[in-house]
Structure 1
């Protein structure tokens, strides 16, 4: 009775039952809005997961809206409603995949004082990261040359990560004659997915052997 009386006094409406009905109506409306937001988030998640799966299976360039809608169990207009342009979709998919596949922590490499050991450890971790994700990385890097929005998304993720990793590994070398941009170029080459793929593919090396070889080559170039 106290809460009802309070509602009546605050509303100032002459009919207390009207006030109570309005409160119930607003409560139901709040529940409906919350449920709708949850449904939209679930639909968005299904679309993103469908796109990520198709990118790994056939590649971004061969992924169609029809296939996305079918995999996510939504209509084509629903896909466009959630992602009105390709750039938004590529960004969402990149973020989703990276959350599920966190990369080696470059901050931990900074704790290794010796630059040679730092490079070897970094390459061992990164090459081990590449191995189980080869199919996805091969597809997106290949198709990034055909899809500008994908190229932009990769530059903001893989590109920035490799840049930061190279800068971390470039510190501490004795060779002061080597220009900074040359050091970074050598390190980016060692860190790149295609370098690992060549060494372990046609090169026939294991992840450990590839990391050890590239660490020695980097040391010879920068030491």
Structure 2
């Protein structure tokens, strides 16, 4: 019985690994069950035996990929009470994560419309959570302009534009976005 369970788990993991590889190379929109099956060396029916639908496979793929990453740590940011210090630390943490995961994140965000609705919602909520944690210590965190600037700063696409497309280092991008938030909030940016 244990050997059978191990074989089932090994097959399931091969399928998840295949989905991760395809999501990272061709993106979720071009990843098919047939492609996952071929990459994993199983039949399409075997994929469906392990995963009832694309959303279940996407969830397993996402969980597996995320388990291999050093995720941002908003709890650590929340310990910082100075608004610009927290913003700087949070953006540095996020931008490190974005740089480390850029190939996969570019495919995921680039195929936004092809993602299962629940995952789009989770990603949007995660960005809102990051924005809100970073806004908490500001004197007027509900200012529409400041919310927009901080929301923009936590976006993967903002990081990608600043660093990947325009050659800034993560630190330079963090400084630029912190400076913009400081100016928007009417605060002095620390040197």
Q: Which residues of structure 1 form unaligned runs of 5+?
A: 1-31
Shift in alpha-carbon separation, 1:184–1:203, aligned structure 2, 3 A = same
Which structure has more relative contact order (CA 8 Å, sep 6+)? It is 2
Contact 1:56/1:139 (CA < 8 Å) preserved in 2?
Answer: yes
Match of 2:119 in 1: 153
1:74-102 superposed Cα distances (whole Å, 9 cap, x missing partner): 11110111112111111111111111113
- Within the candidate set 90, 93, 113, 2:58 is matched to 90
- TM-score w.r.t. the length of structure 1 is 0.77
Aligned length: 186
Match of 1:74 in 2: 42
Moved runs in structure 1, 4+ residues, more than 4 A?
Answer: none
Alignment root-mean-square deviation, CA: 1.8
Q: Which residues of structure 2 form unaligned runs of 5+?
A: 187-191
Match of 1:134 in 2: 102
Structure index of larger Rg: 1
Q: What is the alpha-carbon distance in structure 1 between the residues aligned to residue 135 and residue 168 of structure 2?
A: 25
Deviation of 1:148 (Å): 4.5
Do structure 1's residue 113 and structure 2's residue 81 form an aligned pair? yes
Q: What is the alpha-carbon distance in structure 1 between the residues aligned to residue 62 and residue 148 of structure 2?
A: 25
- TM-score w.r.t. the length of structure 2 is 0.89
Match of 1:172 in 2: 137
Match of 1:208 in 2: 171
